[in-house]
Structure 1
Amino acid sequence: MTQAPSSASAVKPIIEVRGLGKNFVLKRSVFSRPLVQIRAVDNVTLSLMPGETLAIVGESGCGKSTLGRLLMRLIKPSTGEVFIDGQNVTNISHAEMRQQRRHVQLIFQDPYASLNPRMTIAQTIAEPLMLHNIVPAGQRAKRVAELLEMVGLRPEQANRYPHEFSGGQRQRVVIARALAPEPKAIICDEAVSALDVSIQAQILNLLKDLQNRLGLAFVFISHDLGVVKHIADRVAVMYLGKVVEIGASDEIFSAPRHPYTRALLSAIPVAAPPSHQRSRAARLHGDLPSPLSPPQGCRLHTRCPHARPECKTVSMKLDVEASGHANACAFWRDLPAQDGTEGVREPRNPKLEKLFVAFEAMAARSAQTVKGG
């Protein structure tokens, strides 16, 4: 007797990509044939489930933002397939893609550059309502007011222009516009990196609140691993266009497999004296290779302190564990144990340690004075 599928197995991903790749032509011949190409995204396979936050991290130039645009089909992939809400959108027409794009929206890094300076906030937010015919014309102003309140702005601000808002307020407007077509997923491309730290916290709390209230899924593209640790359910680590490790956020931060992931996490600064900080044994050597001619075999072998002769010739594939954690290092089980995955330990300097202790004592005395006064 065949058992009915469980509710967990019946859940389908909102976004799914299989073998995704993107080439950009840098130089053509006189006959328009490609002479020089750069492989920005190379054979990426991943999925985004309803209600989860998938973070994509890596160094600048690793292909994070290009992957985000491929997920929305803003740019057409060179290889592979893209599925949105179960439909293959790789080769559909522009008109069909416009309808599918209602399910997936995008928040850009610079909110000012992504807003039309000649349009009021009300016009900006009402545009997707009109484009997808979601709300009748007579009710759009009311819906715009609801969306503004939802993101922490006042309805009376609707008739202002983008230059009349601060950076954090503009990003709230962009979020309201993304919410207007009632999407199932939002791709956040460095959505808080251009904001002050205090404003970053407010925007992140807003995104988490909206996720809980509306059941949204997020693709969170970022280079700030401190932010990713607190917001992501799963993390995908990219290096030179490839995903080298993907898994649950807790596992990535507590027990990273791939040497590149270890190096990223060991670079997170920690506010502690040098003697209390953790090992920097995961540091990589040399500079990032040119993406025009990536190394053969494992692409990290030119910088990896644990590289073996096999790494120079054998192209590593993602090895999926029973837990779903996958990484592209075949020798990760032989890597030395790491004393924590966060923080950087510089060579011990007694003078710096004394200075740090003195600052702590001064801060403690100040706190006691304020409490007693």
Structure 2
Amino acid sequence: MTDKPILEVQDLSCHFVVKRDLLGRAKARVQAVDDVSLRLMPGETLAVVGESGCGKSTLGRLMMRLIEPTTGQVFLDGEDITALSHAELRARRRHVQLIFQDPYASLNPRMTIAETIAEPLKLYNILPASKRRARVNELLKLVGLRPEQANRYPNEFSGGQRQRVVIARALASEPKAIVCDEAVSALDVSIQSQILNLLKDLQARLGLAFIFISHDLSVVKHISDRIAVMYLGKLVELGTAEQIFAEPRHPYTRALLSSIPVAAARTVRPPATERLEGDLPSPIAPPSGCRLHTRCPHAREDCKSVPMVLEATEDGHANACPFWRELPLADLGLSGREGRDPRLEALFAAFERFAEQGRATP
């Protein structure tokens, strides 16, 4: 792993106009993403977590410039892609691909699987037409499908198989990074484990980097190297998976981890120690200072004026609560394996054994 990031965003913001006056001037804006800075290193999985509506998916699309940022910059291999024309961006975009949440809606029902996977090969002129079918067959094998399935249509596949097709299409352009937007949330638990282990295996074999957007913290703990926690468009905590689960510092992160369901027979951690009160504020008019202060059980008067700014300690663990050292200890019991969903844990282990057996077979 090099010290040069594949993807980097600096001071990235995206505000959507939701109301205009009679002269067309903006009167109200949704602050979907506000002043976010992140780095994705080669071969790394960076998870982005938070409640629905916190800006996770918008951030992923901003990284690919599928949405134009209001302010800030996006760098791909050190090049500022926010300054590129659409023609120039099209050539660069082959290096960053997207796996959508719904594998059926992201596939054209009138195109065969072969046509779908071959589309990036044609779009980016990667291979001549005579060699595309052979490459499609290679990609199908790579994601665990059979070449004879290439002439079928999406409706002939299960949800897990369709997601494998989407992954094969994303790999066709030979990307360096893939944005996984809730890539397994629409799948059954058993299929989730297959897809996650497939992603991990592809990462090890091809050196891919992932932005893994999810609200399922059990899945995030299994697959991520680092975790970025978002709340109302802002980053509130950033650290390694071990740091986030063993020592969550921001009250919002602690509340998220407290909400992870644990089977009663395997519960070794105390009941939830952090709870948020009230509803999520409107992103049109977010609270001043710390945006969590209207719901935080540890809020004080200063929180209404102190801005949310990530500050890192020597170990690289950053969070946006300046009072985190004064918070009461929260033993969430998530530093070990007990933090995982036990159903997923057993399935992960089984599929990892099968994968090891497959790699050992000559």
- What TM-score do the two structures reach when normalised by structure 1? 0.88
1:330 aligns to 2:293 (yes or no) = no
Contact 2:6 2:41 in 1 (8 A): yes
Determine whether 1:234 maps to 2:239.
Answer: no
Greater shift, 191-200 or 313-322, is seen at 313-322
- Of 275, 284, 292, the match for 2:276: 284
Q: Which residue is 1:139 aligned to?
A: 131
1:33, CA displacement in angstroms? Answer: 1.0
Compute the displacement of 1:280 (Å): 1.7
Is 2:250 aligned against 1:258? yes
Backbone CA RMSD of aligned residues: 1.4
Q: Which residue of 1 aligns with 2:203?
A: 211
Map 1:159-308 → 2, pairs under 5 A: 159-272=151-264, 276-308=268-300
Secondary structure in 1 aligned to 2:219?
Answer: helix
Matched AA of 1:60: S
Aligned residue runs from structure 1 range 87-102, under 5 A: 87-102=79-94
Q: Distance in 2 between matches of 1:84 and 1:301?
A: 35
The unaligned stretches of length 5 or more in structure 2 are: 336-362
Offset, 1:27: 1.1
Higher CA-based Rg: 1
Q: Which moved more, 1:269-278 or 1:310-319?
A: 269-278
Does 2:39 align with 1:47? yes
Measure the CA separation in 1 of the matches of 2:118 and 2:267. 56
How far is the alpha carbon of 1:274 from its aligned partner? 10
Q: Check 1:339–1:122 CA distance in 2 against 1; reply closer, same or farther (3 A cut).
A: same
For 2:83, what is the secondary structure of its paired residue?
coil
**Alignment TM-score, normalising by the size of structure 2:** 0.90
Following superposition, the deviation at residue 340 of structure 1 comes to: 2.2
Match of 1:22 in 2: 14
Distance of aligned partners of 1:231 and 1:173 in 2 relative to their CA distance in 1, 3 Å threshold? same
From 108, 121, 124, the counterpart of 2:113: 121
Q: Once the 2 structures are TM-superposed, how far is the Cα of residue 342 of structure 1 from its aligned partner?
A: 4.5
Which of 4, 12, 26 is residue 4 of structure 2 equivalent to?
A: 12
Return the offset for 1:36. Answer: 1.1
Residue 308 of structure 1: how far off its partner (Å): 1.2
Alignment match of 2:55 (pick from 63, 67, 83): 63
Q: Distance in 2 between matches of 1:186 and 1:246?
A: 20
State the identity as a percent.
Answer: 71
Gaps of 5+ in 1: 1-7, 344-373
- Identify the range of structure 1 (305-314 vs 49-58) with the bigger mean alpha-carbon deviation: 305-314
Q: Match of 2:302?
A: 310
Q: What is the rounded CA distance, in whole Å, between the counterparts of 1:276 and 1:239 in structure 2?
A: 28
